[in-house]
Amino acid sequence: EEQARAEAERLKQEAERKAREAKEEAERKAREAEEQARAEAEKKAREAKEAAERKAREAEEQARAEAERLKQEAERKAREAKEEAERKAKEAAEKKAQAEKMANSLQGGFKKFGF
């Protein structure tokens, strides 16, 4: 009977030890799973942030490129308008010079004939 009681006590302690170890193992695995989930969430958040920053940089670069294109187009149009104005001014000056030359010739012709 003493031996059976001692055996029962040993088995009880063994069972309690195994239960404690199983509980500790379950808690350890739960902590590891939690840490892994947190690490995975942080990784995904970091990747999402990096993707958003990359898209923002790409959008900024596109906006800068579009602004540069528009600036160059405006400069080209301004240059063309200036060239057109200069060409028209030159034509007007040539026509004025021709008109003055013709007027002077007519005036000289009138004087020649005594008018």
Residue 43, CA atoms < 13 Å, CB-side half-sphere: 6
List pLDDT tens digits, range 16-50: 999 999 999 999 999 999 999 999 999 999 999 99
Query: What is the spatial distance between Cα 96 and Cα 89, in angstroms, rounded to a whole number?
Result: 10
Query: What is the spatial distance between Cα 81 and Cα 65, in angstroms, rounded to a whole number?
Result: 24
Q: Which of 50, 52, 31 is nearest to 42 (CA)?
A: 50
* Residue boundaries of the structural domains of the chain: 1-115
Backbone angles phi, psi at 23, to 5 degrees: -65, -45
Q: For the whole model, what pTM was predicted? A: 0.50
